[in-house]
Structure 1
Amino acid sequence: MKPDQEAVNIRLDAWDFSDAVLLVPEGLEGAEAKAITVLIEETEKRTGIALAVTHEWPADNQPVIVAGTAASLQDMVKDYSVELEKLSLPGKEGYRLLGCKDERTVVLIVGADSRGMLYGIGKFLRKSSLTKQSLQVPANLSISSTPRQSCRGHQLGYRPKTNAYDAWSSAQFEQYIRELAIFGANSIEIMPPRTDDDATGPLMQEDPLKMMIRLSEIIDSYGLDTWVWYPNMAENYADPATIREELLEREEIFSKVPHIHAVFIPGSDPGELEPDLLFEWAAQVAELLQKYHPEAKLWISPQVMSHEPAKWLEGFLANVDKEPEWLGGLVFGPHVDITLPDLRRRIPDKYPIRRYEDITHNFHCQYPVVNWDLAFALTLGRESINPRPLAEKYIHNLLESYAIGNISYSEGINDDVNKFIWSDQDWDSKTEAIETLREFARFFIADAYTEGIAQGLLALEKNWEGPLAVNEGVDQTFNQWRMIEHSAPPEVLNNYRFQMGLLRAYYDAYIKRRLIYETELELEAMDALKSAPSLGALVTLEQAEAALLRAKTHPVAESYRQRCWELADELFKNIGAQLSVTKHQAIALGRGAFMDAIDFPLNDSRWLSAQNAIIREMDNEQDRLNAIDQIVNRTNPGPGGYYDNLGSYKGWQRVDKGKGWENDPGYLESPRMAHGIYLLQTEREIDKSAIPPIASTRHVNTLADTQLTLQYDHLDPGSSYSVKVTYVGDTASELSRDYKVTLSAQAGSVLHENVLVKQGQCTQIESPIPQEAFADGKLRLTFTRVSGFKRLNVSEIWIIRNGAS
């Protein structure tokens, strides 16, 4: 494959600045001087050209790049004032980029202020073609741009829970902060040494407090704002001794960290304070903060993990209505149980809202992947390489008008693409995602592969759409990435951003091959079990087990798997990406270590093998045959009945979608297809009966007080029916996540009520259906969380016809 033709076209329709000089005002200091350093260093990295700096126009007609603020360049660019004035005057943090060509070729980078100067330089770099010994700039460059959102940033936490950041040096952090700034970020959120995590980890190179201080210095050197995410970790904030200890800790940090513009206290996750106490405590923190950082403000979020979120939220909003002077604004993020538009309408106008969007997780999160295939959920898991450019843009734009911007929630490098999409959208939400991806690919990976990589990242997102087994795009995406792999030079192959995309392409293709293969092996195993009455139980059990074992003894696409591990190891070496607990010292499987799940079974082999073992221990042949029959007919509702796995694409059709993803991407008022893979991935005791069928890991989920409604048609009004339901308990936690649920039908029928669903377990209950509930042949089932943890999960439903009434 040859490099992208688009790259050639850019060079043909570009001006050559390979021998340009850089004209800047004298005496630049601080962030303005840093911006010039960014331009020089990032150009030299890619081209090998060291731009010569001058403070006067050269005497010859050598090309010139001019960079500075409008104020500092006023006298230097007066000959171009007429051309500049044709561009609209940018606002705060904005810039103008202008290319002019007469006797000499000139590009003017004119910031409205020091930040605008940095962002103008960033856009210049993103638009230019930077290759070996060549600096090409698009001809007739003419841009005036001002950011739409005033808050644009990302959280970078130095703690072991992250899937990469804890392995970084301060130099790696600085490079990443620089790159975020090049795409328009003006805020970076950091963390104190003590959070809901270990204080240190095996990969951390520096003391956490020293790193926090250093990060604050780095952020300030670029003229950006430093935010601090500071959770409440003590057990009793009503205890005076606890208050003194907590304030002493914060005083040490506030006094030592040189630059803090805002502190964000999450209402929960972690932290479980009641609203009145939370606001009393926050007022004390705010007073201490302003002692050392007089201009800093304290922000707070209505995040809550409480069992009764509505009551907690009511108390929170009542405290906001008191309009405390110390409160800088509110933060909207995960576990906020009111929609962003409703929150904006509910609070006083004086308080801005900043978004704290989860761009890092795939499920059990604020914005899960829509109807994600179970095979991906089981393997790629909650936190994997997850470019979602189109979804992130859509979510951003849908809610943009209700907030001043976003500082995203991130747990590492896996969401790298999403960060740059959000920054670009916060700058200008009219920007198409593909344009951001092109600039991302051109600037970070290779000019010659701009279009291929940009389209390849879009294709990775589409790999996750619809049932995996019939998604032809997965194979096309894989072939496109492999073609780049086979032609790319070493500097591209060793680029961690390219490696991340390539790994996902291999991984997706491998999982699809395994899914198709292992689905067929399960069908063979079930066919064997169906022969038990004629061949005998033990013989068919052996045949079934042999079929399932072929997934290990005769695996498919082993070369794909091997390449995935090679890329994972290279990413650990290059960027500290911890994609494995065993090999890369990741903190847990669910914290980015998706490589450890690459071979997780994609069929029901774990449950079938456990059931086989139980049956073998039976003494009576008839008991064995009866047990096998129960396996074969586990999902069979009998003649005239219905069975649905609500986490499957077929079962999902039963669900009343409510507002749906298009209007409610956080699913605060709509059901969503969800996954409880912890039921399978948790190592169970020797008790084989504790291993559930794979269907239990797929379910429909609703949040807080949102009900779940299902529709069934064509029931026989002259028959009697019962309903059997499998409820799924939420992930086991130190705080109880049990909940109670009631199931009702039309005509006021209550089928069962206050059923207790224990955390981390499946609960199955069967109830008769009153005939008046389906007198017209239609049955409408409504599930309501009555009390307890704020997630309701239903995985399987059987409507069983018991005969004529």
Structure 2
Amino acid sequence: MRSQTRFKASVTTLLFLATYFQGVAQSIDLKNATWVVSPSIASPMKETAPTVLTEEIAKRTGITLKNASVWPKSNAPVIAFALASDKTLLSHNVPSSNGNGPEYKPEGYRIVTETAGANKTVWIIGADARGVLFGTGYLLRHLKMSKAFMGKPLLEFAGPVNIASSPAYPIRGHQLGYRSTANTYDAWTVAQFDQYIRDLAIFGSNAVEGIPFHEDDKPSPHFKIPAREMRIKMSEICRKYDMDYWVWTPATFELSDKAKRKAELEMHEQFYKECPRLDHIFFPGGDPGDNHPSEVLPFLKELQTILVKYHPKAKMWISLQGFDTEQIDYFYKYLETEKPAWLQGVVSGPGSPPMAETRYRLPKQYQHRQYPDITHSVRCEFPVEKFDQAFALTLGRESVNPRPFAFAKIHAKYAPFTDGFVSYSDGSHDDVNKVLWSMRAWDPQADVHGIMEEYSAFFFNHTVAAVAASAIEGLEQNWKGPLAENGGVEMTYVNWRILEKTEESLAGSWRWQMLLLRAYYDQYTRMRLIREQELEKQANAILAAADRNTIAESMDAALAIVNKADQEPIERDIYKHIVDLSDALYTSIGLQTSTEKHKPRNPERGVVMDFVNYPLNNRWWLADEFEKIKKMTSPDEQLTRLKTIASWENPGPGSYYDDISSVAKGPRVKTISEDATDVAWWDNGMSRKRLSTQLFQREPELDYDNLDPRARYIIRVAGEGDALLRVDGKRLSPIVYNKESETFKEWIVPLSLTQDGKISVTFDGPEESQLNWRKQSKISDVWLLKQP
């Protein structure tokens, strides 16, 4: 134990020393600094920015900075808050770029260090109140801070510095919905919202979006205060940090209903009257809601008339989510003929027309805001590509999901068509993504790894910034490709375990806990997957060897093998730590990962502990199939079904099998689904169907080569509904065509098509636009079977 302690201490010391002595000669020691503030900075920012700086430093160092109303005469360093328009501050000249630098642009700032003689000054110069706050954020992100470095507190800023910056996009915000559907926010206090909004501002956010009135009818058991009160509190917090306050307000009733319409307008007016700050109203056209724009637009016009009575500069926005072609055309025709001055712009979110099309069709006087879904991993706007099914079944739709590199690319693809974004978020689990979006919207060229280092330096500590940044990036890499083949998962787990042991002081940090949870969960899932798939192979070997006399014994033996996953569980230490971390997160930030313990809205809302041991082989399905087989009266029929099960994924020499949307078991599949409807959510995530049946596509494409030109082949398909198959572009007629789930369709491949040793298989999409996507045809398994 003592050797482990010495190891942890030595690693920590080396990290401190390596970071500390890098550029130490040019650092400014701020332990005894005094801050002064320009009287030209308007309140509340004149108070807010110094408070943010001093409180965040005190948390990390125990040092309380002094303030002064006159410039200190001692040689102690000074942190000076000023506006770019200031010529002097307390008889000291404010550094200037002669009016043409970024600090003169909206929200811009300049950070300058002056070290003339013994006098040292760090200037935070803002173009405006927000610029002062964002400059404060830059300084906080780049300070070296510690409560005990070599026995003393550490507070240093590496100089010399003369850096200026202003944002590329004017809208940079996040939705923080205090509602029962959130997996975290509904458990927060006012103080937690205040701290989180401050954190977002430190990383460049300038907007927060609240949620609608109808959520008042569905209170969460976790609410600390009623939703109506929290909406007003969030408005007050936004005023304090000079953040735009948006409110997302759908109409979930028929706007033609005069009584409901009147009641809705009255509810809006009461809210507007109570809000100390309100900047934007965002009305989603059809998600939720089902009103024609001929009803929506007059309603919004009337709403805007009420809005400006209480907030004269507030703006009205609409999204075209859920609108069909006729409704979209109606909207643009309305803009052309009416030219509504009351409308500020259009929001593009999931279900909206393409963003490029929206920008091109939208007249230039209207703004265009993105509403990106950064909170979900499957069944969403930006699903994780090539997501292993094991993660889709366990971590699911709303787990801790740092995706810095993926979202940097997504932002770069769509941002040029917009004036910025306010993201869709349902909890703290996407915290890394929020910071990534905010900082890339500020500077689209910002280095992704550098952003992760700033994140780690501020929220953890500067000594582990580089290592923790790479460890966060490792969690994103864990989700790429077949899990069983990804040895990097174990290395990421090892890295986080080392960090956990060397940085014990971070054990109470909810951000640290979230990332640790993912590292342990990923490793546990990979170990389970490898083992449970191997158990199924052993069970299939038993079934393949069965004969008419050993049918019952073979089923019992096969089931006993696959059920070892439950009866002889593995990695119990890792599992226990996952449980402990999930409970710690509920205490620290209100993250609801367990239905039994945490009372979440529903299991799909990030409730990963309900699924941490969900089967990663087909043991549930096998148990159900064996019960069906026992009811068959013919031994031959029973044996045939057993052989089908045994050879499902291993059809024999010269034949091929593909699980259509499995990155591990679909090597010949060329297509991926872009809307993530290829990962099923049945029976609240506890489906007993075969794992491959829970994956599907509508119109998959497969390529085969190295075929025997002399052989006859049959294509077999499992799925549900129709499958309109083509081989090398030629539509084939089936010889077997069952439409029920897990039954087969079959086609004979003409010899003329396999003469060159290769074929391409495609499927036409049946016309099912009248059906909900859950009811539409699905293709889950495809075989190319070489005939004897």
1:496 Cα deviation from its structure 2 partner? 0.9
Q: How does 1:405-804 map to 2 (within 5 A)?
A: 405-490=420-505, 492-533=506-547, 536-635=550-649, 641-649=655-663, 652-657=666-671, 671=674, 675-679=678-682, 682=685, 691-700=688-697, 708-713=700-705, 723-727=715-719, 742-744=724-726, 749=731, 765-766=745-746, 778-788=759-769, 789=771, 791=773, 793-800=778-785
Match of 1:346 in 2: 361
Q: 1:169 to 1:72 in 2, by over 3 A?
A: farther
**SS class of match (2:682):** helix
Q: Deviations over 1:316-341 (max 9, x none)?
A: 444444443322111111122x3322
Structure 1 position 277, deviation (Å): 3.1
Question: Amino acid of the residue matched to residue 169 of structure 1?
Answer: T
**8 Å Cα contact 1:84/1:98 also seen in 2:** no
| Offset of residue 656 of structure 1 | 4.7
Q: Does 1:180 align with 2:200?
A: yes
Q: Contact (CA 8 Å) 2:169, 2:441: kept in 1 or not?
A: yes
Aligned residue number for residue 704 of structure 1: none
Match of 1:67 among 65, 78, 81: 81
- Over 3 Å counting, the alpha-carbon distance change for 1:74 and 1:371 in structure 2 is same
CA 439–193 in structure 1, closer or farther in 2 if over 3 Å, else same:
same
Contact 1:387–1:460 under 8 Å retained in 2:
yes
Q: Is the 8 A contact 1:159 1:198 kept in 2?
A: no
Look up the match of 1:218: 237
Matched, 1:330 2:346: yes
Kept in 1, the 8 Å contact 2:188–2:224? The answer is: yes
- Residues of 1 paired with 2:729 and 2:492: CA distance? 51
Q: Relative to structure 1, is the Cα distance of residues 721 and 527 closer, same or farther in structure 2, using a 3 angstrom cutoff?
A: closer
1:711-770 CA-to-partner distances (Å, cap 9, x unmatched) read 4456678877654434469xxxxxxxxxx8755556663758xx9999xx7786445667
C-alpha distance after superposition, 1:530-552 (max 9, x if no partner)? 12117601111111111011111
Structure 2 CA distance for aligned equivalents of residues 779 and 800 of structure 1: 15
Q: State whether residues 112 and 122 of structure 2, in contact with CA within 8 Å, keep that contact through their aligned partners in structure 1.
A: yes
What is the distance in 2 between the residues matched to 1:73 and 1:134?
Answer: 32
1:19 aligns with 2:32: yes
Describe the shift of the 1:651–1:348 C-alpha distance in structure 2 as closer, same or farther (beyond 3 A): farther
What is the CA–CA distance in structure 1 between the aligned matches of 2:175 and 2:738, rounded to whole Å?
Answer: 38
Decide whether the 8 Å contact of 1:158 with 1:190 is kept in 2: yes
State the TM-score, normalizing by the size of structure 1.
0.88
Matched, 1:124 2:139: yes
CA contact (8 A) 1:672 1:700 kept: no
Deviation at 1:676, TM superposition (A): 2.5
Contact 1:110 / 1:117 at 8 angstroms: preserved in 2?
yes
- Give the corresponding residue for 2:150: none
1:202 is aligned to 221
Higher mean C-alpha deviation, range 431-440 or range 271-280: 271-280
In 2: Cα distance, 1:110 partner to 1:201 partner: 43
1:343-386 Cα distance to aligned partner (Å, 9 max, x none): 21222222211111111111111111110111111111110001
Is the 2:125–2:132 Cα contact (8 Å) retained in structure 1? yes
Partner of 1:372: 387
Alpha-carbon distance between aligned partners in 2 of 1:122 and 1:770, rounded to the nearest angstrom = 68
- Distance (Å, rounded) in 1 between the aligned partners of 2:695 and 2:762: 19
On the 8 A contact 2:272/2:307 being kept in 1, the answer is: yes
**What code does the residue aligned with 2:343 have?**
L
> Hey, what's the Cα distance between the residues in 2 that align with 1:527 and 1:162?
46
Q: Structure 1 residues 708, 599: closer, same or farther in 2, change over 3 A?
A: closer
Residue 172 of structure 2, aligned match among 143, 146, 152: 152
Q: Structure 1, residues 691-721: CA drift from partner, whole Å, max 9, x if none? A: 43111122336xxxxx654444566788776
Q: What letter matches 2:588 in structure 1?
A: N
2:300 aligned with 1:288, yes or no?
no
Q: Cα offset for 1:680?
A: 6.5
Of residues 111, 136, 139, the one that matches 2:126 is: 111
Q: 1:261 aligns with which of 262, 279, 287?
A: 279
Name the SS of the counterpart of 2:213 in structure 1.
Answer: coil
What RMSD over aligned residues (CA atoms) do the two structures have, in Å? 2.9
Question: Could you tell me how far 1:673 is from its partner in structure 2?
Answer: 6.8
Give the AA of the match of 2:590: G
Query: Which of residues 46, 50, 69 is equivalent to 1:36?
Result: 50
Q: Percent identity?
A: 34
Shift of the 363–470 alpha-carbon distance from structure 1 to 2, 3 Å rule, reads same
Q: Secondary structure at the match of 1:272?
A: coil
Q: Which amino acid aligns with 2:780?
A: S
2: CA distance, partners of 1:726 / 1:321: 50
- How far, CA to CA, are the matches of 1:107 and 1:200 in structure 2? 47
Give the match's secondary structure for 1:108.
strand
TM-score, with structure 2 as normaliser: 0.90
User: Aligned to 1:23, what secondary structure does the other structure show?
Assistant: strand
Structure 2: tracts of 5 or more residues without a match: 1-7, 148-152
Query: Could you tell me which amino acid in structure 2 is paired with residue 796 of structure 1?
Result: D
- Write the distance in 2 (CA, Å) between the matches of 1:270 and 1:768: 46
**Following the alignment from structure 2 to structure 1, what is the Cα–Cα distance between the partners of residues 653 and 631?**
32
Greater shift, 614-623 or 341-350, is seen at 614-623
Q: CA deviation at 1:152?
A: 0.6
1:553: Cα distance to partner? 1.4
Greater Cα shift, 356-365 or 241-250: 241-250
Contact preservation (8 Å) 1:69, 1:110 = yes
Letter of the 1:429 counterpart: P
Cα offsets for 1:228-254 (capped at 9, x unmatched) = 0111211x2222233223222222222
Change (3 A) 1:378 1:774: same
Alpha-carbon separation, structure 2, partners of 1:285 and 1:89: 37
8 A Cα contact 1:191 1:229, kept in partner: yes
Aligned length: 760
Residue 416 (structure 2) pairs with residue 401 (structure 1): yes
Whether 2:24 is the aligned partner of 1:8: answer: no
How much does 1:89 deviate? 4.5
Distance of 2:713 and 2:264 partners within structure 1:
59
Task: Specify whether residues 796 and 317 from structure 1 end up closer, same or farther in structure 2 by C-alpha distance, changes over 3 A only.
Answer: farther
Q: How far is the alpha carbon of 1:681 from its aligned partner? A: 5.0
Classify the secondary structure of the residue corresponding to 2:563.
helix
Bigger CA drift: 377-386 or 770-779?
770-779
Q: Which runs of 5+ in 1 are unaligned?
A: 658-666, 685-690, 702-706, 730-739
One-letter amino acid of the counterpart of residue 8, structure 1: Y
| Contact preservation (8 Å) 1:363, 1:382 | yes
Between the aligned partners of 2:82 and 2:733, the Cα distance in structure 1 is 72
Contact 1:10–1:129, Cα closer than 8 Å, also in 2: no
